[in-house]
Amino acid sequence: MAAEKIQKHVFISGRVQGVGFRAFTRSQAAALNIKGWVKNLADGRVEAKVQGKESNVDQMLAKLKKGPSFARVDNFEAETEKADDFSDFEIRF
């Protein structure tokens, strides 16, 4: 039973494109057994869906609030939503 699986839909703004944010997100997801995806948006934000055990998702959100070393996160929004059926974590274009 996957009752403890949760999903967050995340929007991150600031200096978050061209700084390795998507690759950083994918590597953090792999380390925390997170499923979902991440992509750049045309308006300069990064969008992601992260799914996994609640404690892992919480750790993932904490990492995304900081971002990689060259990033600057100015705004961070995360909304809980019904879990999709992701099999892995991918960078989308």
Query: Which residues does the annotation mark as catalytic?
Result: 22, 40
Beta bridge partners of 13: 75
How large is the angle between the packed helices 21-32 and 54-66, nearest 10 degrees? Answer: 160
Cβ neighbours of 74 (radius 10 Å): 10
